[in-house]
């Protein structure tokens, strides 16, 4: 078992590295940059942004003198490596060209024709080479340092934002998971034991509806039916917060409905398979009552399909639902999934990706370990 766990942990590190790498380059290759909306800022301010977030590199003046040839430059245009950007005329009349240190877009120009510069003074900023950005970022990620968020102009760290939203999403997810497990597994076991009866048909019909209705429908529907204010049936539960249990009932039900239906179907299928197995027939032949047969012998095998699904389900449900949190005004983690990607907030996107991926990998590992406990036929030795 120890060897298996260590092997899986090593494989998990490789998986996380691949996910981070793919996410990093996908974000960088996407059109636009995080600072496109700030294009009207003074050149010095925009240049500082690129430098602060480790995405830009300074182009220094190679000599002291007067700057020439800036008027022909076009900010935002791609220039090849070594292309002349401008020139500096020294006191003796010698002209020294200023060249692109690496191929890429000209981010900003910090000087104008006729400006006097000293050797080494910043005259422009260009993007840092993509490989250099990647290696620098990878070194930080290895120490769990995801930097500062671009949307806050470097005032907040990624970890601070995640720690604000994650506990709320975690609580929402755990309550929804408990709801789904209790009602889903109970309904599935009942349907499996009452195959082809009215009860079985009723449970499976409800499960089919639950799977078919997404949270984008169930959330607003529950809000309209039972939410304080717009309720059509009974204004029982308030919304727009997360301070007391009354605020949690509707979002927990909305988030847990789909998983309740999935658990019911999986548990029913597992029970139907186990209940016909040889060792169940043997237990009945020994004279054991039906309750003992189900609880002591059939139950473990029946929930194995549910356990398999539990790993990715926990990771998905715990990280929250964008629709549920938005509909019910819950200040959870959901807002950090979409908004940073649209705003090209690279550090926040990577932070969220790593958080979600770590949960997914960890839950799958725990599921594999749980298999050995629930099914003695499975061994990782």
Give the dihedral of Cα atoms 12, 350, 352, 143; nearest 10 deg.
Answer: 60
Q: What is the pLDDT of residue 341?
A: 74
168 and 119 within one domain:
no
Q: What is the pLDDT of residue 299?
A: 76
Q: What is the pLDDT of residue 175?
A: 92
- For the chain (381 residues), the mean pLDDT of every run of 10, in chain order, is 78 89 85 60 71 82 90 83 89 89 83 89 86 87 84 79 86 91 90 87 89 85 76 70 85 90 88 78 75 75 79 74 82 78 81 84 78 63 59
* 91 occurs within a structural domain: yes
Residue indicated by tokens 């109970």: 186
* 28 occurs within a structural domain: no
209 and 166 within one domain:
yes
**Token duo for residue 291:** 């309750």
Distance from C-alpha of 367 to C-alpha of 304, rounded to nearest angstrom: 10
220 and 280 within one domain:
yes
270 and 229 within one domain:
yes
198 and 92 within one domain:
no
Q: What is the pLDDT of residue 146?
A: 86
Q: What is the pLDDT of residue 357?
A: 84
Nearest to 269 by CA among 309, 215, 296, 313: 309
CATH number assigned to the domain comprising residue 104: 2.40.50.100
* 14 occurs within a structural domain: no
3-class DSSP string for the chain: CHHHHHHHHHHHHHHHHHHHHHHHHHHHHCCCCCCHHHCCCCHHHHHHHHHHCCCEEEEECCCCEEEECCCCCCCCCEECCCCEEEEEECCCCCEEEEECCCCEECCEECCCCCCEECCCCEEEEEECCHHHHHHHHHHHHHCCCCCECCCCCCCCEHHHHHHHHHHHHHHHHHHHHHHHHHHHHHHHHHHHHCCCCHHHHHHHHHHHHHHHCCHHHHHHHHHHHHECCCCCCCCCECCCCCCCHHHHHHHHHHHHHHHHHHHHHHHHHHHHHHHCCHHHHHHHHCCCCHHHHHHHHHHHHHCHHHHHHHHHHHHHHHCCCHHHHHHCCCCCCCHHHHHHHHCCCHHHHHHHHHHHHHHHHHHHHHHHHHHHHHCCCCCCC
206 and 277 within one domain:
yes
Q: Is the pTM of this model over 0.75?
A: no
Rg (CA), the chain: 29
* 146 occurs within a structural domain: no
Distance from C-alpha of 84 to C-alpha of 73, rounded to nearest angstrom: 10
Q: How many domains does the chain have?
A: 2
Distance from C-alpha of 172 to C-alpha of 249, rounded to nearest angstrom: 10
219 and 350 within one domain:
yes
* 81 occurs within a structural domain: yes
364 and 227 within one domain:
yes
CATH number assigned to the domain comprising residue 274: 1.10.3720.10
267 and 331 within one domain:
yes
Q: What is the pLDDT of residue 18?
A: 92
Nearest to 114 by CA among 70, 75, 61, 59: 70
* 11 occurs within a structural domain: no
Residue indicated by tokens 């120009």: 109
315 and 217 within one domain:
yes
Domain limits for position 90: 42-129
79 and 186 within one domain:
no
162 and 125 within one domain:
no
Q: What is the pLDDT of residue 371?
A: 67
* 140 occurs within a structural domain: no
Q: What is the pLDDT of residue 178?
A: 92
* 32 occurs within a structural domain: no
**Token duo for residue 248:** 């949690």
């Amino acid at each position: 078992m120890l060897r298996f766990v260590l092997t899986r942990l090593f494989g998990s590190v490789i998986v996380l590295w691949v996910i981070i790498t793919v996410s990093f380059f996908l974000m960088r290759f996407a059109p636009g940059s995080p600072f496109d909306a700030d294009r009207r800022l003074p050149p010095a301010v925009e240049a500082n942004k690129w430098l602060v977030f480790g995405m830009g590199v300074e182009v220094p003046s190679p000599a002291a003198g007067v700057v020439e040839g800036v008027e022909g430059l076009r900010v935002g245009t791609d220039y090849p490596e070594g292309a002349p950007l401008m020139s500096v005329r020294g006191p003796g009349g010698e002209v020294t060209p200023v060249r692109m240190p690496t191929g890429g877009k000209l981010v900003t120009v910090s000087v104008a024709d006729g400006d006097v510069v000293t050797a080494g003074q910043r005259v422009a900023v260009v993007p840092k080479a993509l490989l250099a950005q990647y290696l620098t970022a990878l070194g930080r990620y290895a120490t769990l340092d995801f930097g500062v968020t671009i949307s806050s102009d470097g005032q907040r760290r990624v970890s601070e934002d995640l720690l604000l939203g994650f506990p709320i999403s975690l609580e929402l997810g755990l309550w929804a998971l408990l709801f789904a497990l209790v009602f889903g597994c109970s309904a599935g076991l009942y349907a499996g034991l009452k195959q082809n009866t009215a009860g079985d048909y009723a449970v499976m019909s409800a499960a089919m509806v639950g799977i078919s209705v997404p949270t984008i429908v169930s959330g607003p529907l529950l809000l309209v039916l039972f939410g304080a204010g717009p309720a059509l049936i009974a204004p029982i539960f308030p919304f727009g917060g997360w301070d007391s249990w009354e605020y949690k009932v509707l979002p927990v039900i909305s988030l847990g409905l789909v998983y309740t239906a999935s658990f019911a179907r999986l548990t029913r299928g597992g029970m139907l398979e186990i209940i016909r197995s040889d060792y169940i027939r043997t237990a009945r032949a020994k004279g054991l009552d039906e309750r003992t047969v189900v609880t002591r012998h059939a139950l473990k095998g029946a929930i194995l399909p549910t356990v398999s699904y539990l790993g990715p389900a926990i990771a998905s449900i715990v990280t929250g639902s964008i629709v549920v949190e938005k509909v019910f005004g819950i200040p959870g983690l959901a807002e950090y999934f979409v908004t940073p990607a649209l705003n090209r907030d690279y550090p926040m996107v990577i932070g969220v990706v790593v958080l979600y991926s770590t949960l997914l990998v960890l839950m799958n590992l725990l599921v594999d370990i749980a298999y050995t406990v629930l099914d003695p036929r499975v061994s990782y030795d």
